[in-house]
Amino acid sequence: MSAERVDVEQKVLSANDQIASEVRGRLAGHGVFSVNILSSPGSGKTTLLERTVDLLKPSLRLAVVAGDVQTRNDAERLERHGIPVQAIETGGGCHLNARQVSESLESLDLGEMDLLFIENVGNLVCPSSFDLGESRKVVLLSVTEGEDKPLKYPAAFRRAGVLVVTKVDLVPHVEFSTQTAIENALSINPDLVVLSTSSYTGEGLDSWAEWLTGQVTECKQGS
Amino acid sequence: MHEMSLALEILSICERELGGLPETQVTAVGVEVGAFSGVDADSLQFCLEAVMSGQFDGVRCEVVRQPGEAACPRCDRAFKVMRAPFECPECGSLARGFSGGQGLQLCYLEVE
């Protein structure tokens, strides 16, 4: 029997993308703006979210879906700030997928939500491949990581809409040129919105909160 | 390391494509991996061979890297890129940004 070639031409992640598209539709139906936060482990995702929640909670209805390989530690930290949080323990998985987010949304009231943060598993590689149905991807880069991270892990920086440089209060103590890091990120993705922040001193957090609030307003007008 | 879950996804697409033809054997599978997809082509090759050969004896897995494309800001030439920085092969100028090279696609199956 001779071999026959069958053209398939199918995206490998089409099953995930289909669920992501349903999630996007559900969120848009309720006028919820959502961000999928990507970074290496230890870049300060949870701390940035804690500060952000404190800043925005008076004016916006917030919720978080927090992913980790194991433990509910991040979710518990965020719950203490008085907002609804759903934890996803991937049990070894190195990224969140759309199905996990879709299931988490079942336990959250989308009608009582303006802004949803999805804190991905700390990993700068795998999460970038999976659409979760978010409005925008935000990538964090802490100043202790090295300014060439965007060149080493281009996919995350290419797919993100915003780069948040974190821990800038530590710049005097490390060999890190914020300008070079930003240049590297822009060489991968010239359309990135770039913000520099310190969750410790509060520097730059107002701009970040302002960007988020602006996006929420636009999202409400579009829905 | 998400290449194993991607390999399993490719296997399940293959099985769906073969639906209703249980006697059909897959002899080869062709996959394109964007150079900027966040997927490591070598790891995917390894995982795909492990997963597919469990189901289809002697299957050949062809994993091909697809480049992105950048445009030179000086001489306007379009050129293929596999990694940053994106240096124009003609004039050496650095391009900012690129398009393509981000997909992960199951292109074909060979069956008998």
pLDDT tens for A174-198 read 999 999 999 999 999 999 999 999 9
Instruction: Tell me how far the alpha carbon of residue A177 is from its chain's centroid.
Output: 24
The pLDDT of residue B20 is 67
- Is B18's pLDDT higher than 90? no
CA B5 to chain centroid: 14
Residues of A within 8 A of B70 (CB-CB) are: none
B2 touches chain A (CB under 8 A): yes
What is the helix (H) or strand (E) element at residue A4, kind and residue range? strand A4-11
CA-to-CA separations, A104 to A76, A101, A213, in angstroms, rounded: 16, 5, 24
- Backbone φ, ψ for residue A103 (5° rounding): -65, -35
pLDDT given at position A188 = 95
Q: Are B6 and B32 contacting, i.e. CB atoms less than 8 angstroms apart?
A: no
Residues, chain B = 112
Spell out the residues 6+ positions from residue B54 whose beta carbon is closer than 8 angstroms to its own: none
> Measured between alpha carbons, how far is A197 from A48 in angstroms, rounded to an integer?
9
Closest partner residue to B109 among A8, A13, A155, by Cβ?
A8
**Cβ–Cβ below 8 Å for B97 and A191:** yes
Task: Kindly tell me if the per-residue pLDDT of A38 is higher than 80.
Answer: yes
pLDDT band per the 50, 70, 90 thresholds, residue A3: confident
Q: Do A129 and B86 touch (CB under 8 A)?
A: no
Q: Is residue A8 part of a domain?
A: no
Transcribe B83-104 into DSSP letters: SSSEE-TTT-PEE---BS---E
Residues linked to residue B62 through DSSP beta bridges, in sequence order: B30
Question: In this structure, how many other beta carbons lie within 10 angstroms of the beta carbon of residue A28?
Answer: 16
Nearest to B11 by CA among B39, B53, B46: B53
The answer to whether residue A97 sits within a structural domain is yes
Confidence at residue A1, expressed as pLDDT on a 0 to 100 scale: 60
- Cα angle vertex B8, ends A64, A71, to 5°? 30
Q: Considering only the beta carbons, identify the residue of B38, B83, B98 that sits closest to A128.
A: B38
Residue A77 lies inside a defined structural domain of this protein: yes
- The pLDDT confidence band at residue B23, using thresholds 50, 70 and 90, is confident
B-chain CB neighbours of A159 within 8 Å are 102
B93: Cβ–Cβ under 8 A, 6 or more apart, which residues? B72, B73, B74, B75, B87
Residue A7, domain member (yes or no): no
> What total number of domains does chain A contain?
1
Q: Which residues of B touch A7 (CB under 8 A)?
A: 107-108
pLDDT beyond 80 at B7: yes
CB A62 within 8 A of CB A94: no
Which burial class, exposed, middle or buried, applies to A38 when counting CB atoms under 10 A from its CB (0-12, 13-18, 19+)?
buried
**Which of A3, A10, A126 is facing B38, going by the closest CB pair?**
A126
| Percent of chain A predicted with pLDDT > 90 | 91
CATH code 2.40.50 for B3-13+23-111: no
Residue B12 has pLDDT above 70, yes or no: yes
How far apart CA A83 and CA A119 sit, in angstroms, is 14
**CB neighbours of A5 closer than 8 A, spacing ≥ 6?**
B108, B109, B110
* A4 falls within a domain: no
Distance (Å, rounded) from C-alpha A154 to C-alpha B1?
16
Residue A26 lies in a domain: yes
Token readout for B43 is 């790891």
Q: How far apart are CA A52 and CA A206, in angstroms?
A: 9
pLDDT at B82: 95
Query: In this structure, is residue A1 part of a structural domain?
Result: no
Which residues have CB under 8 Å from A97's CB, separation 6+? A16, A19, A130, A132
What gap in Å lies between CA A124 and CA A127, rounded to an integer? 7
Distance CA A80, CA A90 (A): 22
Residue A108 lies in domain: 14-222
Asked, for residue A73, whether it belongs to a domain, the answer is: yes
CATH number at residue A201: 3.40.50.300
